[in-house]
Structure formats: structure tokens, C-alpha cells
């Protein structure tokens, strides 16, 4: 246990230490300044603009920015959908894999374009190297970059005064991808390959087993390059079916540390960027503090539950719940990953969530149900959190009878409508999706576990999809036409409704004048406000989900 505490403390210290320089770097990049990588990347950036015949300085109004995001995502969706349908006839398919069924292709395209990376398939037996590299790897990058771009629209909404435009989507997208995501992914990929993560275009390797010479297959592929961005971009879709539990995707304690750190580093750094961009570091620190408090509390509950609430079996020497966990990670690193991957809307796993103890699994589910704002997705986590901040300011304003304001902008009816869309879309779609699935005749045939845990499998699936997370209680048979189609629609709605709401909210804020902070202005950077914000987040999460959690994990815990 002392090793577990030590490694958790070390992890949080490294995360906090790295998030500051990275956050300041991202600020410079998004502000259009020169950085140390500009020598190499500025020519590439210029070339991209030239090829696409776009002037990077051309500012967009909110409507045009929103249309650009939608059109760009639609192009990506269509390409990925068709690539899967045609992969059987295309090159780089050494294993002779067939084309994907239309409903699975729809689900996967929706899932990767929406930065969810829910997977109703196992990569090594379904996707060709071509689909993995040209389709899935590319969406890992650009869906993450889209989230960060939209966050910057909101930041500009606060920073600008009486402005009609909110930046250029093409410049935001290009700069995030080239200066932030690609360099970090290259560093991470090389470290992962040095640990034994595979990276090759050779066919799967056939070998013989030692004991009886039985035929073995070593699945291969261009994996490390995709795994690096899958972790960094809060994507989470495994190159292999078992995700980062699979040794060729995550072979050593060091690779596991790098991958876990990658889950949270960009969302954490963006809090620092936010403080810098609104010229008040304390505003960034207060949302960072709220995220850290919720994260650490969840980590403690998951770890204690996995370590001490595992069942005891006769004549077995137990040291916690090892079902579904790798020896190299044990209870400690598996719990740390579990908390990180559900706090961030990542969804990669290094152990099977289905086999976590009831309370451990419930906390992972609840972290998603809070709306993926405890770090959350890259960009999307912070714009979701800012929506909660505005809601909190609004509620506090109602209590004292003053017009609420945040960062010098008055918060008015249109702003609150957008905030409500941002906050309410995920829980509504989670509950509607889970209820629809539970009512389907034959739903019990999709389940691996029975009783309350079986219901948890359904609830987890729709929680994961309706919050763009992507992890699963994998006993649930996800590859059915019903789940592929409803899940695909849910993932797209829950990604693009908040994105559009954020852009229009930002446009409305940018048009306003700034009001000077006065005597009666509510401080949004002190401990009282941190407490208030925590309260609002937990109350909304609990009101939305306690009834369904009671039917699933809580019943599971109480009846065993």
C-alpha cells in the first residue's frame, strides 16, 4: 500500500509540474507567437495554408466558425466510414481482413470523429493497417485538435470586447495539431517503442509455443504512433482489442506511467493556458483546484475499494482484486489509470472496468456522469467546466439578487440557454439511451453478468458513449445493430450540441462590453467559490444519476 501511495503522489506531482510549462507553451502557440519549434514547423504551417488556399489571419464570425467545424468533421466522418467499407479491397492489408459491416462502420466513424473512441470491435481482427493509419490515427489527431480549437473560441469570447469575430478555425486546427499534438506524440511514441510497443507494417508473426509447438500469432501493426495520440488526445481507442491491458500496447511499468500521464497532461495544462489567456492566473487555478479535488477523492475511493473490498476466496492469498488486471500494474497502477481515464474523457483501459469491485466501477461511472469535466476531454473538459462555473455564478447571483458576471462579462438569458445545452445534453442522452437499451427485447442476451451488475453494463455503455469517453464494461456485447446505431447517434449529438452551444455562447460574450469588477462582484477565485462550484457539480451529477446508480452498482455492492 505504501508503494501505491508513493506512486500516486509522484504521479500527481509530475502532472502538476509539467502542466505549467506546457500550458504556457500552448498559450503562446494559440496566440500566434513564435515558439522554439517555429523554425521547423512554420514552413509546414505555411504550406498547409497554401495548399488549402486559406488566409490564416482571416477571422470568422461564430456562424462561420461553427459551419467550418461541422463541415470538417463531416468530411472526416464520410472518409472514415467509406474507408472501412472499402478496406477489404485496399492495400496494406497483410492479414486479408474483410470490409466492416455498415452499422459497425457508422458507429466507429461517429465514435472517432466525436473523440469518443468507443469500440464495438477488436482492432487486430477487424481493422487493416491502412484503416488504422489513414483513418483512425488521423481522427485521433483532428478530433482532439477540434476540441482544443473550440475551447479557444470560448476563451476569446471572454478576452475580447465588442468583437464580431472569434478567430479562424483553420488556423486554430493547424496550429494545435502541428505545434502541440504532433511533437508530444512523437516523443511519447519513441518512448513507447523503446519499451516494446510494436510499430511496423510487417504482417502478423507466426511462431510455435515452447511446451507443445502449438501455433501462435503475434499481432503487429503501426501501433505506437496511434497509441501515443490515443492517450494524449483523450481519444482512448485501442490499437488492439484489449487496449492498454495488452502487453504489446503497454509492456512495462514505465510505458504505463507515460501512458497514464498522457491521459491527463493536456487537459491539466489547458487550465494554466486559460488563466494566462484571460490575464488572471487565479481563475485557471480555481478550476484546476476543483478538478484535482474531485480527481484525488475518486482515486482514493477506487484504490481503497480495489485493495480492500475484493472478495475472499478459500485458500487463495489475495492482495486486492486482481481479476482483469495485469501483474505489472497491480491494484495501484490499475486504479490510478481507472480514475484518470474516466476523469479525462479518454476511455483507454489497462484493466477491465467490468471486473472492478462494485464501488470502484461506480466511481469510474460517476466521473463520466459528471459530464467529463474533471480534466475531461482535451478542450471539451474545460469548456464544460467553464459552463459549470457560469451556472454557479448565475445561481450565486440569484441568491444575492445581482446580475451575474464572470471575467468581466455580464451573463444574460442567451448565455444561460447555451450553458444549459452544454450541461444537460450528456445526462439526458445517457439516461434516454440506457433506458431504451434496457427496454429492448432480448437486451439480457447482450450481457455477460447477471442481476444488478448486468444493468451496470448497460448503464456504463451509455454513460460512456453519451459523455464521449469510450471505455466499456466490456462484457456488454456492443456490436449489435441497435447499439451501433443508437450509440453512434448519441455520440455525435453529445459532441456537437455542446460544441455549437460553446461557439455561439462565445460569440455572444465577445460582442459584450467588459464591466469593471466592483464591490459587489462575486470573486470566482477564492476558496468559497471553489466550494460552491464543487457543490453545484456534485448536486447536478447526483440528481441526474443517483436513481440509476442505485439500481446498478449500489445494488451490486449491497447484495454481495
Partner 1 sequence: MKSLLKQLRPAVLFFLAFTVVCGVAYTGVLTGIARLAFRHKADGSVITVTLKDGSKREYGSALLAQEFTEPRYLIGRPMTVSNLSPVSGEQARLVAQRTAWWRELDPENTADIPADLVTASGSGADPYISPKAAEYQAARIAKARGMAEGEVLAVIRKYTKGRFLGFIGEPGVNVLMVNLALDGLI
Footprint of partner 1 on 375-404 (CB under 8 A): none
- Determine contact, residues 19/271, Cβ cutoff 8 Å: yes
Non-local CB neighbours of 114 within 8 Å, separated by 6+ positions? 143, 468, 491, 492, 494, 495, 496
Among 20, 67, 86, 289, binds partner 1 (CB under 8 A): 67
Q: 428 vs 332, 433, 480, 541, 550, CA distance in Å?
A: 34, 8, 22, 12, 18
Nearer to partner 1, 185 or 486 (CB): 185
Among 18, 42, 134, 542, binds partner 1 (CB under 8 A): 134
- Closest contact distance (angstroms) between CB of 257 and partner 1 is 6
- Determine contact, residues 472/464, Cβ cutoff 8 Å: yes
Which region, left, alpha or beta, applies to residue 117 given φ > 0 means left and ψ of -120 to 50 means alpha?
Answer: left
Rg of the chain taking only CA atoms, in angstroms: 23
Among 313, 439, 441, 442, binds partner 1 (CB under 8 A): 313
Which range of residues in 220-228, 261-269, 279-287, 510-518 is near partner 1 by CB under 8 A? Answer: 220-228
Question: Whole-angstrom Cα distance, residue 347 to residue 192?
Answer: 19
- Determine contact, residues 528/147, Cβ cutoff 8 Å: no
Per-residue interface string for the shown chain with partner 1, residues 456-485, x marking contact by CB under 8 A: -----------------xxx----------
- Closest contact distance (angstroms) between CB of 44 and partner 1 is 8
Residues 263-282 binding partner 1 (CB under 8 A) are none
Total residues in contact with partner 1, by rule CB under 8 A: 114
**CB burial class (10 A; 0-12, 13-18, 19+) of residue 89?**
exposed
Establish if 6 lies at the interface with partner 1 (CB under 8 A).
yes
Establish if 209 lies at the interface with partner 1 (CB under 8 A).
yes
- Determine contact, residues 383/150, Cβ cutoff 8 Å: yes
Tell me if residue 222 falls in helix, strand or coil: strand
Establish if 1 lies at the interface with partner 1 (CB under 8 A).
no
Cβ atoms within 10 Å of 50's Cβ, excluding its own: 9
Which range of residues in 155-163, 315-323, 458-466, 520-528 is near partner 1 by CB under 8 A? Answer: 315-323
Nearer to partner 1, 252 or 525 (CB): 252
Establish if 358 lies at the interface with partner 1 (CB under 8 A).
yes
Among 153, 182, 265, 533, binds partner 1 (CB under 8 A): 182
Establish if 324 lies at the interface with partner 1 (CB under 8 A).
yes
Establish if 13 lies at the interface with partner 1 (CB under 8 A).
no
Among 15, 150, 248, 425, binds partner 1 (CB under 8 A): 248
Nearer to partner 1, 287 or 333 (CB): 333
Per-residue interface string for the shown chain with partner 1, residues 15-54, x marking contact by CB under 8 A: -----------------------------x---x--xxxx
Among 25, 72, 112, 455, binds partner 1 (CB under 8 A): 72
Buried b (16+ CB within 10 A) or exposed e, 196-231: ebbbeeeeeeeeeeeeeeeeeeebbbbbbbbbbbbb
Nearer to partner 1, 105 or 322 (CB): 322
Among 116, 352, 486, 544, binds partner 1 (CB under 8 A): 352
Which range of residues in 262-270, 309-317, 380-388, 423-431 is near partner 1 by CB under 8 A? Answer: 309-317
- Closest contact distance (angstroms) between CB of 333 and partner 1 is 5
Question: Whole-angstrom Cα distance, residue 189 to residue 235?
Answer: 15
Establish if 372 lies at the interface with partner 1 (CB under 8 A).
no
Tell me if residue 461 falls in helix, strand or coil: helix
Establish if 142 lies at the interface with partner 1 (CB under 8 A).
yes
- Closest contact distance (angstroms) between CB of 538 and partner 1 is 26
Among 13, 16, 36, 202, binds partner 1 (CB under 8 A): 202
Treating both helix axes as pointing N-terminal to C-terminal, what angle do 281-308 and 2-30 enclose, rounded to 10 degrees? 150
**CB burial class (10 A; 0-12, 13-18, 19+) of residue 361?**
buried
Amino acid at each position: 500500500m505504501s508503494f501505491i501511495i508513493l506512486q500516486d503522489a509522484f504521479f500527481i506531482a509530475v502532472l502538476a509540474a509539467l502542466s505549467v510549462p506546457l500550458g504556457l507553451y500552448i498559450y503562446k502557440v494559440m496566440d500566434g507567437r513564435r515558439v522554439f519549434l517555429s523554425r521547423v514547423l512554420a514552413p509546414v504551417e505555411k504550406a498547409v495554408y497554401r495548399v488549402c488556399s486559406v488566409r490564416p489571419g482571416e477571422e470568422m464570425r461564430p456562424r462561420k466558425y461553427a459551419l467550418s467545424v461541422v463541415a470538417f468533421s463531416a468530411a472526416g466522418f464520410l472518409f472514415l466510414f467509406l474507408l472501412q467499407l472499402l478496406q477489404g479491397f485496399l492495400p496494406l492489408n497483410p492479414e486479408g481482413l474483410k470490409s466492416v459491416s455498415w452499422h459497425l462502420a457508422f458507429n466507429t466513424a461517429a465514435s472517432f470523429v466525436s473523440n469518443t473512441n468507443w469500440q464495438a470491435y477488436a482492432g487486430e481482427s477487424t481493422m487493416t493497417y491502412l484503416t488504422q493509419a489513414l483513418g483512425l490515427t488521423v481522427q485521433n489527431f483532428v478530433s482532439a485538435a477540434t476540441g482544443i480549437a473550440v475551447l479557444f473560441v470560448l476563451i476569446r469570447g471572454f478576452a475580447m470586447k465588442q468583437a464580431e469575430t472569434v478567430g479562424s478555425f483553420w488556423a486554430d486546427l493547424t496550429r494545435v495539431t502541428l505545434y502541440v499534438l504532433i511533437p508530444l506524440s512523437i516523443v511519447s511514441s519513441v518512448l513507447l517503442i523503446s519499451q516494446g510497443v510494436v510499430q511496423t507494417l510487417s504482417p502478423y508473426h507466426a511462431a510455435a509455443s515452447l511446451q507443445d509447438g502449438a501455433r501462435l500469432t503475434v499481432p503487429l501493426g503501426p501501433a505506437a504512433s496511434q497509441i501515443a495520440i490515443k492517450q494524449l488526445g483523450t481519444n482512448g481507442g485501442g490499437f488492439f482489442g484489449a487496449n492498454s491491458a495488452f502487453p504489446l500496447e503497454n509492456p512495462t511499468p514505465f510505458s504505463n506511467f507515460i501512458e497514464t500521464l498522457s491521459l491527463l497532461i493536456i487537459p491539466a495544462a489547458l487550465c494554466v493556458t486559460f488563466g494566462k489567456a484571460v490575464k488572471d492566473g487565479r481563475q485557471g487555478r480555481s478550476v484546476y483546484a476543483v478538478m484535482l479535488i474531485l480527481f484525488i477523492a475518486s482515486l482514493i475511493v477506487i484504490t481503497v475499494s480495489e485493495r480492500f473490498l475484493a472478495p475472499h476466496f478459500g485458500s487463495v492469498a489475495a492482495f486486492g482484486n486482481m481479476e482483469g488486471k495485469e501483474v505489472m500494474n497491480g491494484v495501484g497502477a490499475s486504479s490510478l489509470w481507472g480514475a484518470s481515464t474516466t476523469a479525462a474523457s479518454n476511455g483507454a483501459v489497462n484493466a477491465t472496468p467490468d471486473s472492478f469491485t462494485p464501488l470502484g466501477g461506480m466511481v469510474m461511472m460517476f466521473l463520466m456522469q459528471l459530464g467529463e469535466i474533471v480534466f475531461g476531454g482535451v478542450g471539451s473538459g474545460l469548456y464544460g467546466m467553464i459552463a459549470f462555473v457560469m451556472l454557479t455564478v448565475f445561481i450565486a447571483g440569484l441568491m444575492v439578487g445581482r446580475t451575474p458576471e464572470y471575467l468581466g462579462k455580464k451573463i444574460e438569458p442567451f448565455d444561460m440557454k447555451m450553458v444549459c445545452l452544454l450541461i444537460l445534453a450528456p445526462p439526458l442522452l445517457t439516461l434516454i439511451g440506457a433506458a431504451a437499451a434496457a427496454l429492448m427485447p432480448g437486451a439480457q442476451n447482450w450481457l455477460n453478468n447477471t442481476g444488478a451488475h448486468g444493468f451496470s453494463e448497460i448503464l456504463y455503455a451509455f454513460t460512456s458513449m453519451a459523455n464521449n469517453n469510450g471505455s466499456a464494461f466490456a462484457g456488454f456485447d456492443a456490436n449489435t445493430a441497435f447499439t451501433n446505431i443508437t450509440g453512434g447517434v448519441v455520440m455525435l449529438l453529445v459532441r456537437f450540441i455542446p460544441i455549437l452551444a460553446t461557439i455561439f455562447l462565445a460569440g455572444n460574450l465577445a460582442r459584450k462590453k467588459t464591466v469593471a469588477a466592483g464591490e459587489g462582484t462575486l470573486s470566482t477565485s477564492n476558496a468559497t467559490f471553489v466550494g460552491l462550484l464543487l457543490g453545484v457539480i456534485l448536486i447536478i451529477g447526483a440528481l441526474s444519476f443517483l436513481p440509476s446508480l442505485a439500481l446498478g452498482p449500489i445494488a451490486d455492492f449491497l447484495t454481495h
